[in-house]
Chain A
Amino acid sequence: MTETTLSDELDDARALEQRSERAAAYADGPDGHDHHATNTGISNPKLAMWVFLGSECLLFGGLISTFLLYKHNNQAGGPTPHELYDIELTSISSFVLLMSSLTMVLAVSAIQRGEHSRLRLWLATTAILGATFIAGQVYEFQVFVKEGLGFTTNAAGSAFFALTGFHGVHVSLGIVMLLSALVLSLAGRIPQARAEAVEIVGLYWHFVDVVWVLIFTVVYLIP
């Protein structure tokens, strides 16, 4: 719908066509997917989530740049994160988080097929995998602190905890969303026709996972 057409007739024809399409969409009412007729064909909430995630990229961009700037900076004393990494542990918890994207996909496809108990199973699994990741992060933070690297120890520590902590908060919010979806489903408020609600939570969840892949690479893999 983005092209300009110079001929008015063509425009007229297209406009009328669109008008009748949209009129039909309005008149039909329930179309099985229960959203408004929109210009893009993507529902408002889903588009809003995409747009929001676009801005999140910049937030993480700022934090990742900060980490890159400071990762070896321990002029205030103390160790740097690089000296403390337990790469095996983090690899495992990263793997766990990636698997949760898979279970999320399964949850979405379950509800799209109307399989409610499967939906709940996969939502719960995803939440548990997410929580496992968070547990790993809490454990890692606590080890770091014990080894002498706290949030305020040096610039590298501040940058490390801020970046991974922000990501952890995002995962935790995602878990809250998953659990809310689970509760709503148990209350019977997620019929198949509202599969999109789960899909939107899924979008957020995948985004958080993808960001972790980036963070894992930047923070843990690149020396």
Chain B
Amino acid sequence: MTTTTPPTGPLALPSGEEPRRNPLGAFARPTATAGWRSWMTSVDHKRIGIMYGAASLFFLLIGGFEALLIRVQLAQPDGQLLSADAYNQIYTMHGTTMIFLVVMPIGAAFMNYLIPLQIGARDVAFPRLNALSFWTFMGGGIVLNSSWLLGGGADGGWFNYAPNNGVVFSPSHGIDFWNMGLLITGIASLVGAINLIVTCLNLRAPGMTFFKMPVFTWMGLVTQFLLLFAIPVLTAAQFLLLFDRLFGARFFDTSAGADPLLWEHLFWIFGHPEVYIMILPAFGVISEIMPTFSRKPIFGYPFMIFSGIAIGFMGWGVWAHHMFASGVGPLSVAAFSVSTMFIAVPTGVKIFNWLATMWGGRLKFSAPMLYSVGLVTMFTIGGLSGVTHAVAASDTQQTDTYYIVAHFHYVLFGGALFGFIGGWYFWWPKVFGYVLNDRVGKVNFWILLIGFNLTFGPMHILGLQGMPRRIYSYRDGYGFNLWNFVSTVGAFIIAVSFLIFFWNIVRSRRAHVRSGATMVADPWDARSLEWSVPSPTPAHNFDVVPTIRRLDDFWHRKYQEDAGGKLVRVATSEEVAQPGNGEGVHLPSPSYWPLVLSAGFPFVAWGLIFNLWLCLVGGILVVAAIYGWVLEPSTAPEAHRGSDDHDPDDHPAPTDDGAAATPEEAALVD
């Protein structure tokens, strides 16, 4: 035990004094606030949000490249680009990447950045854990994609059904990378979920009751609960798979009488809620955009919240609709068919609330609004084809055809991703201090919309014509040629639209620098708290923690009803925005340990695959980091202000007010 007792003993450390130092010095906290190191060690929820966003864009490039490979292969009959084996790996990794490394982390990016701001908190409840969850996510992503360099990717589809996921049918290590990569990202999601749940429950500003929280924060909270309960189910299944593949257990060994449905059940009990984990944050995003650009409050706020909660609950009762063709028996099929129909109800409620929000509003179709409307229409198409899957009779015809591929891309791409892109355009000025060019944004939208529908629309037809999913090639003369070609052209149009997006970033930034203007706090005349602080958001968020009186408090400080009940402007945004110097606000300083700790996980994974000695490296990193984490001194003299997860020793103990420690406690310190 390293005791570094100052003469008076740690218990008598008066607040304001230099924090406890460790003799190893190595435990001193990093202090850089600029440069790449400051990013690696940052514990600021905003920087972590930005890093989540950047990482997911990077993985989007990988996943998008894989998608293009798929489409080039299928552009014509008898495609020769990829072997059957390579094709299996590429669509599996495409789906896995898009779901776990793109859509989920984009959601995490928004939730990390916005939730503390929207509830008036200085940071999340546990800033260092927040950094841990980001770096652990990166570790998982690296393990997953390292498979390309180390012998090939997983090849069993993103759900890797048993027994195809066993060593008999998939003897390469691809599925081990998949399995352990996702186990690691699962840790990241779990840590993040705990953190954000505690943040929402505990750190709301004075007066910010639950029913004054913005819809985005609400959807984020529901999402975190879904993660909290869904991830461990997948984790359980993945441990079983790991035991099977690496240690010869018999969970999915059908030759030893194992039940292949076990994997399917566990996977989809996770997998169906996962769909809502991906879509609810996007619903939250457009629930902020639509009222702002309709100049009306969100219609039916409580309905929005309760339908979100209802989706969260009902999502658990419908998983077997993924298994209608698996032979689960007629009773289950009927029951799950009905329960699946019901879940369309709260989703429908949301759609009608958005429409009612726009109804009679003064609509302004800026880029964020276009994407939001795009989400509603594309998601509705995807939802309608979803209802046709809920009918078991039609599902047995559609399952494993391109009709399904069309369906889930309308939901996940046309739904989730459209919403998030709208969110980028909307919050970009808040995060980076400049507005993305709106005209380019609109062009970007229309090209994406056209490319998207060209790509995935024809897949409905291909599916109904009977083109199976997950085939690496098809013969001439089946009638698949035309629509496959159209679809491939569409995919390249999508790619172009993303290039336009990246170009817009560069171009708008340049224009902003050239103009030399400073960014206003509230460019859209928006409603929620994050718009009351300067853009880009200062490190300490709020100079003064706001007191909340009602829903959309920020808006109501700008607008009030006159005698006739008409909304009139009573203050400019500048008048009600916070000035922002943040003097005297204490924030937790950066830390190395989240990075070191998460660096341990990939080594454990690689070690299990290649050489157990690597596990030792990973284990040492993890244990050393835990030790460093616990011993790391805090820089917080007054830790009870603001939020930090540092060493509780720095919380002023009763003795801090200068009184001597009790004799008993004093005796302990020697």
Residues 154-169 of A contacting B (Cβ, < 8 Å):
154-155, 157-159, 162, 166
Tell me the bound Cα distance from A164 to B251 in angstroms: 15
- Do the beta carbons of A158 and B250 come within 8 Å of each other? yes
Q: Does B302 contact A (CB under 8 A)?
A: yes
Contact of B548 among A4, A15, A55, A69 (CB under 8 A): A15
Chain A residue with Cβ nearest B662: A114
Chain A residue contacts of B288, Cβ below 8 A: none
Please, how many angstroms separate the alpha-carbon atoms of A221 and B197 in the complex? 37
A42 CB-CB contact with B under 8 Å: yes
Is there an interface contact between A155 and B251, defined as CB atoms closer than 8 Å? yes
Q: How far is the CA of A27 from the CA of B657 in the complex (A)?
A: 13
Once bound together, how far apart are the Cα atoms of A56 and B243, in whole Å?
19
Contact A34 B249 (CB under 8 A): no
| B contact residues around A34 at 8 Å (CB) | 640, 648, 651-654
Confirm or deny: A82 has a beta carbon within 8 angstroms of a beta carbon on chain B: no
Q: Which residue of B lies closest to A163 (CB)?
A: B236
Residues of A within 8 A of B253 (CB): 76, 155
Q: Which residues of B contact A45 (CB under 8 A)?
A: 645, 648
Interface check B220, CB cutoff 8 A: no
What residue in chain A is nearest B229 (Cβ atoms)? A58
B258 interfacial by beta-carbon distance below 8 Å: yes
Q: Is the CB of A15 within 8 A of B233?
A: no
> What is the bound-complex CA distance between A51 and B198, given in angstroms?
8
Question: Could you tell me if B653 and A191 are in contact, using CB atoms closer than 8 angstroms?
Answer: yes
Interchain CB contact (< 8 A) of A30 among B244, B550, B649, B654: B654
Query: Is B9 interfacial (CB-CB < 8 Å)?
Result: yes
Which residue from chain A places its CB closest to the CB of B670 in the assembled complex? Answer: A188
Q: Are A158 and B207 in contact (CB under 8 A)?
A: no
Residue in B closest to A77 when the chains form the complex, CB atoms: B256
Q: Give the complex CA separation of A158 and B330 in angstroms.
A: 30
Contact status A194-B648, CB under 8 Å: yes
The listed residue with most B CB atoms (<10 A of its CB), out of A22, A62, A194, is: A62
Report chain A residues within 8 Å CB of B248.
151-152
The B173-200 residues at the A interface (CB cut-off 8 A) are 190, 193-195, 197-198
B228-A29 in contact (CB<8A): no
* Interface size range of chain B in the complex: 35 or more
Distance in angstroms from B597 CB to nearest chain A CB is 16
Interface residue? B160 (CB, 8 A)? no
Within the complex, the shortest CB–CB distance from A96 to chain B, in Å, comes to 27
Cα–Cα, bound, A51→B232 (Å): 13
Asked if A29 and B653 make an inter-chain contact with CB atoms under 8 angstroms apart, the answer reads no
B198 touches which one: A44, A55, A63 (CB < 8 A)? A44
Contact indicator B203/A197 (Cβ below 8 Å): no
In the complex, what distance in Å separates the CA atom of A52 from the CA atom of B231? 12
**A55 shortest CB reach to chain B, Å:** 5
Q: List the A residue with the shortest CB-CB distance to B124.
A: A44
Most chain A CB inside 10 Å of its own CB: which residue of B229, B247, B249, B654: B249
Does B668 belong to the interface (CB within 8 Å)? yes
**Given contacts A19-B206, A155-B257, A30 and B232 within 8 Å (CB-CB):** no
Q: Does the CB pair A152–B250 fall under 8 Å?
A: yes
Minimum CB–CB distance for A207 against chain B, Å: 14
Which residues on the A side are within 8 Å of B645 (C-beta)?
44-45
Contacts of A47 in B (CB 8 A): 198, 201-202
Partner of B206, one of A22, A158, A193: A22
Query: Which residues of the other chain, B, contact A154 by a CB distance below 8 angstroms?
Result: 250, 256-257
Residues of chain B lying within 8 A (CB to CB) of residue A36: 202, 640, 643
Q: How far is the CA of A1 from the CA of B207 in the complex (A)?
A: 9
- Complex CA distance for A157 and B243, rounded to whole angstroms: 12
Using CB atoms, name the residue of chain B closest to A159. B251
Contact of A44 among B202, B250, B649 (CB under 8 A): B202
Contact B250 A157 (CB under 8 A): yes
Q: Is the CB of A62 within 8 A of B203?
A: no
Bound Cα distance from A9 to B648, whole angstroms: 39
Residues of B within 8 Å of A162, CB to CB, are 239-240, 243, 249, 251
Tell me, yes or no, whether B48 is within 8 Å of chain A by CB: no
A219–B203 CA distance with the chains assembled, in angstroms: 42
Q: How far is the CA of A153 from the CA of B235 in the complex (A)?
A: 23
- Say whether, besides A75-B256, A151-B249, A197-B648, A55 and B202 are in contact (CB < 8 Å): no
Tell whether A92 is near chain B: CB-to-CB under 8 Å.
Answer: no
A116 near B: Cβ within 8 Å? yes
**A15 engages B206 (CB within 8 Å):** yes
Bound complex: CA of A155 vs CA of B249, how far in Å? 7
Q: Which residues of B contact A42 (CB under 8 A)?
A: 202
* Bound Cα distance A63, B249 (Å): 14
With A30-B656, A152-B250 known to touch, is A15 a contact of B211 (CB < 8 Å)? no
Contacts of A69 in B (CB 8 A): 259, 262
Give the docked Cα–Cα distance between A65 and B310 (Å).
26
Q: How far is the CA of A187 from the CA of B265 in the complex (A)?
A: 49
Q: Does A8 contact B (CB under 8 A)?
A: yes
Contact of A55 among B229, B243, B244, B302 (CB under 8 A): B229
Q: A14-B207, A55-B190, A63-B236 are in contact. Are A29 and B652 (CB under 8 A)?
A: yes
Alpha-carbon distance A194/B547, docked complex (angstroms)? 30
- The verdict on A29 contacting B266 (CB below 8 Å), with A151-B243, A191-B665 known, is no
10 closest pairs, A vs B, by CB?
A75-B257, A62-B236, A15-B207, A188-B668, A76-B256, A19-B206, A59-B232, A38-B202, A158-B249, A34-B651
Given A2-B209, A62-B266, A162-B251, 20 additional A-B pairs, CB 8 A: A11-B207, A12-B549, A15-B549, A19-B547, A26-B640, A35-B651, A38-B201, A38-B202, A38-B203, A55-B231, A62-B237, A76-B250, A152-B247, A152-B249, A154-B257, A158-B240, A162-B249, A188-B665, A188-B668, A191-B654
